[in-house]
Amino acid sequence: MEQDIAIELLSQTRVSNGWLKRISHHSTTTKSRMTLAIYLPDTANDKPLPVLYWLSGLTCNDENFCQKAGALKLASELGLAIVCPDTSPRGTDYPGEHDSWDFGSAAGFYLNATQAPWSETYQMYDYVVTELPSLIEQNFPVSDLKSISGHSMGGHGALICALKNPGHYRSVSAFSPVTNPSQCPWGEKAFSHYLGSNKQAWEAYDACELIRTSLTERLPLLIDQGSADSFLDVQLKPDNLKQACEAVNHPLTLRVQPEYDHSYYFISTFIDDHLKHHATALGIL
């Protein structure tokens, strides 16, 4: 195992026959100190494990999924490592960065910002797709086999990372994703600041638009959405994703779960299905 990139171990906790580690490192992509969590089942002592990358949503950081999703026991049984990065750079303190919960700090939207001042550090797309896997593969006993999932803003991130990088991930899934950000208030607010006023530039980070233009790979999508989600119609728009997939015959399993909301209670109820979906694609189930 190479040690090319300096990392700092912040904590490690024994859980479900494995270790949950929080680490930090200096990111050359975001030009900031980034914190992330990695769960390593003990089976990593015997062979390199495939990795599920989990992208969290607005207001979250690397800890939410690990503490609330209830995913680690099954991940250990499957022999699946899980990596949870933060949702934005930290410590930059740009004007207005911390003024609202749905933009700026903890709201990086997993894109590469092109507008000042955000373009200097808000490069979360490149961080997740390129720098983070390199860091993990060089410093931990994992293989280069990877899948990606996420929730809400992180569900949006998982979809675009997979759709924009054919062959990079073995599988993709999402809970309550922002499917059509160029057509919803959260996305319009973030994209206008990060990417500018040219809405054609927004299409590069919109799952519905990418589905329409993605011709080299039709990676099946697994989506769970709660019917009682207060953000369903205005922000998440799963019907738009369904229509985009139907138009080009992109495989989609969209499960609308009656009476469930947007919370981690919802995620914890169905997370096992998603872990098994990824484990199957990664060849460990």
What is the set of active-site residues?
A: 152, 229, 262
Give the strands of the sheet with 172-175, arranged side by side: 7-14, 18-27, 32-41, 81-85, 49-55, 142-150, 172-175, 221-226, 252-257
**What letter represents residue 104's amino acid?**
G
Coil, helix or strand at residue 283:
coil
Sign of the CA dihedral with 68 first, then 142, 128, and 160 last: negative
CB 282 within 8 A of CB 50: yes
CA distances from 98 to 56, 102, 122, 254 (A): 18, 9, 14, 34
- Name the token pair of 254: 């969209």
Of 262, 72, 80, 268, the closest CA to residue 153 belongs to: 262
**What letter represents residue 7's amino acid?**
I
Pairing of strands 81-85, 49-55: parallel
